[in-house]
Amino acid sequence: MSALTFTLKTALLHSINCSALTPDNLAGKSAAEIAAIELVKGRNQLLAGDIFDISGTDTQELCFRNATAKLDYIGAGMSTGSITIEGDAGAGLGYGMKHGNIHCKGNAAAFAACSMRGGLLTIGGNSGDFLGAGTEGSRKGMLGGTVIVKGNAGDRAGDQMRRGLILIEGNAGDYCASRMIAGTIGVLGKTGIYTAFNMHRGTLLLQHQPELHATICDCGTHTLPFLNLLFKSFRQYDTKFSSLDQNRVQRFAGDTACNGNGEILVLQPQA
């Protein structure tokens, strides 16, 4: 069986909600049924078959070709299978996903991995703002799973993140780990201003010294044994983080402005 492939026919003017096109929803459906899925409702109704050329049969392995940032909510809520995106993805990539695997080869727009609960999301390019954050009104961000961003992340990465792992190989924007509740974020590049703003708990692992605001407190340089476990867990992923092995870090704690007990660990040369 070959991957069920959705090839975008023409450039879209408006965003399309692709949340219906997940391995869960498509399992057991015939080619005709899949083509008849309504993606845009209302007067200008558009079906999947109108927007995409659909080929292949394996509903557990989906592929989006010629994908652009107009394709929102790809893989939303999925709990099985895998999705490959050849191109860019729109907002809400992997929104609320529970299990499975999404690989976006290009860039992802804002709110990628938003409210994600499990599985693996890999973004080959950059991600927009609010990576791994929560939805509007939600008091909790990402709740589990792993996100790997090969490029840069926008502002507010990990905002209100509750659990899980975000690994950003490039730079992160402003307010990285803001309001973070728990979980782990790693950034190999640089971070913007107000890193860990109102951070409650959780771990932000950095390669470069961040510019920190006054309520994040320096706790000195230490060798932390738990980092051995963390680094070991990175080795299962295809990421630059898998080569980390120095467990000597400068530890900053905070944000004391909100009585926070989070930590920023800045990797140091091995003593």
Enumerate binding residues for another protein (CB under 8 A): 163, 182-184, 201, 203, 222-226, 228-230, 232-233, 236, 261, 263
Report CA-CA distances (Å) from 39 to 64, 73, 210: 15, 11, 43
Nearest-angstrom CA–CA distance, 226 and 81: 32
- Of 8 and 204, nearer to another protein (C-beta) is 204
Whichever of 201 and 208 has its CB closer to another protein, that residue is 201
Backbone angles phi, psi at 185, to 5 degrees: -125, 135
Rounded least distance, CB 113 to another protein, Å: 17
CB nearer another protein, residue 190 or residue 200: 200
164, 183 in Cβ contact below 8 A? Answer: yes
Alpha carbon 94 to chain centroid distance? Answer: 7
Least Cβ distance, residue 263 to another protein (angstroms): 7
Closer CB to another protein, 146 or 195, in the complex: 146
CB of 226 to another protein, least distance (A): 5
CA-based nearest residue to 115, from 70, 147, 153, 81: 147
Shortest Cβ 233–another protein spacing (Å): 4
Q: Which two tokens stand for residue 184?
A: 């782990």
Q: Give the nearer residue to another protein in terms of CB position, either 45 or 236.
A: 236
Strand partners, 227: none
Least CB distance from residue 225 to another protein, whole Å?
5
